[in-house]
Structure 1
């Protein structure tokens, strides 16, 4: 960092130390604007990174989040892509240091994910590491909520991020489903496991499907009637049985398993309807086996629909 930038940061630190947080924040923004206008992007990024870090240490989270958002805008203007490891890691570091229940997280998720999507190397859903970060933070903040509707809304957003996250997201997501299942012992555990199985299946990520199923069964007590063909058959838990069979069918060749899928679907159709996942499974029939059953012909990728709503 240049001497000029060092002096700017020292003056910023002095204002923060004196409690003049608003003045420090606005002054740093003004100086950053000058760097951006003269296309001195590296200086602007360094200034915002250092300033955000100082504000976070002083628990001035709203001001820090504003500077982080500005940093993402500069990434876009400078055409920095997600493959720039240093820029990505600095962004992740700053966001990680914000509180899990910080109200700015949803906006930061939108801006950072949208930035990552613009990278040619990135999937249409955005960077997996960023999704993992936001999903983990939002899920960890759920217990801070006292309003059930807010809890559900927060979980829905956290769940989507974790589904689009990394392999490390799977235990965080699945163990949460296990705990919810344990808190509701009268409900078929398959109701909760189905969220992970269906969501990962939408992405055609069978390895993640299998891992989620494995984690779920390792962490929940199930009394089995029998074990056959890798399936732990359970009493009075038909949806749990269905999901295990579905996982087996989806990992086979489409040409040979479309009839098996149909048979499985028809055998459990009543249960799927009962637990309101019939349309979701119909969509999987279309996605994997090109089967037009029920409303699958009119269904779009549900995960893509949720994602488009999240990024508005």
Structure 2
């Protein structure tokens, strides 16, 4: 925002007030001054005051005051029917970068942003770029579970980041089968009908696997077609020691070729993989429903749990999201 000298002077004065520890006074001034500009229809100025005020309060650990200013900023977005765009999104992401993770305040902030972007953007699960930014920050501090929850609703770049993340996650010792972490995300992307995302994720994960642990890949399997829906003669697919990786690979191939017969065969052959984790089995049933109309009459939708966790009131004790909470969505 290209603020005039008067606005810059006000911003500096309020920032100095926060730095001097006059938090209550500064909080009230951010509200009153922004309200004055709102009455004058100077929305950009008012929003910049609220934006900078929230950042300053976060910087001085005044999280309650920060959230109050954030709520006011989002109220203005709502009242003026402001869509998700570079400017409206940018203010929220700028504040998020200052928020301390694993706190109730950050959890509440994330929910507010996602709910607003779902109301004013084209995606009912929230803006993909906001999800990508949230997921990237969680990933940077190895909060893999929280990162996964956002990357799934993000962009194609989110899927590529998920490829790297699931490989790192798989090396943390939470599960004997490193492919488990790959399969989690592949199933979720396919349940959302994001085939390109699932493929990008799979390609990156397996390239990292082959580079860092080549012994986990065995000889390729060469196809001999027995039906028109089979791959062409000579088509080769790599095989891995991990049943979960092989399952993810064949599942992507089934969806690409639109073959319900092969899908049913695959489901029967890998029941043991799905039975290990009931949540994975539930997501698989969503995949069966959305691609082949083969799911239960009332398919279980595990994504409802994800969205409930994003939109629900914050739990006591902060986020606690980390790689050990693998089955929190179950």
> TM-score, normalization: structure 2?
0.78
Q: How does 1:6-17 map to 2 (within 5 A)?
A: 6-17=8-19
Deviation at 1:188, TM superposition (A): 1.9
Q: Is the 8 A contact 2:55 2:95 kept in 1?
A: yes
Q: How does 1:108-147 map to 2 (within 5 A)?
A: 108-119=109-120, 121-142=121-142
What is the aligned partner in structure 2 of residue 219 from structure 1? 208
Q: 2-side partners of 1:183 and 1:278: how far apart? A: 23
Is residue 98 of structure 2 the alignment partner of residue 105 of structure 1?
no
Q: How does 1:277-292 map to 2 (within 5 A)?
A: 277-292=280-295
What is the aligned partner in structure 1 of residue 44 from structure 2? 42
1:273–1:196 CA distance, 2 compared to 1 (3 A): same
What is the aligned partner in structure 2 of residue 267 from structure 1? 269
Deviation at 1:175, TM superposition (A): 2.4
1:10–1:267 CA distance, 2 compared to 1 (3 A): closer
Deviation at 1:41, TM superposition (A): 3.1
What is the aligned partner in structure 2 of residue 151 from structure 1? none
More helix as a share of residues? 1
* 1:77 paired residue among 74, 79, 82: 79
Q: 1-side partners of 2:98 and 2:175: how far apart? A: 39
Per-residue CA deviations over 1:91-122 (Å, capped at 9, x if unaligned) read 22222233444542221111111111122x51
What is the aligned partner in structure 2 of residue 239 from structure 1? 244
Q: 1-side partners of 2:113 and 2:63: how far apart? A: 17
Deviation at 1:250, TM superposition (A): 0.9
Deviation at 1:305, TM superposition (A): 4.2
Q: Is the 8 A contact 1:191 1:275 kept in 2?
A: no
Q: Structure 2: give runs of 5+ residues left out of the alignment.
A: 222-234, 313-330
What is the aligned partner in structure 1 of residue 254 from structure 2? 249
Consecutive aligned runs of 4 or more in structure 1 exceeding 6 Å deviation: none
Q: Is the 8 A contact 1:191 1:239 kept in 2?
A: yes
**1:187 match: secondary structure:** coil
Q: 1-side partners of 2:49 and 2:14: how far apart? A: 10
If asked which structure has higher relative contact order (CA below 8 Å, sep 6+), I would say 2
Is residue 201 of structure 2 the alignment partner of residue 196 of structure 1?
no
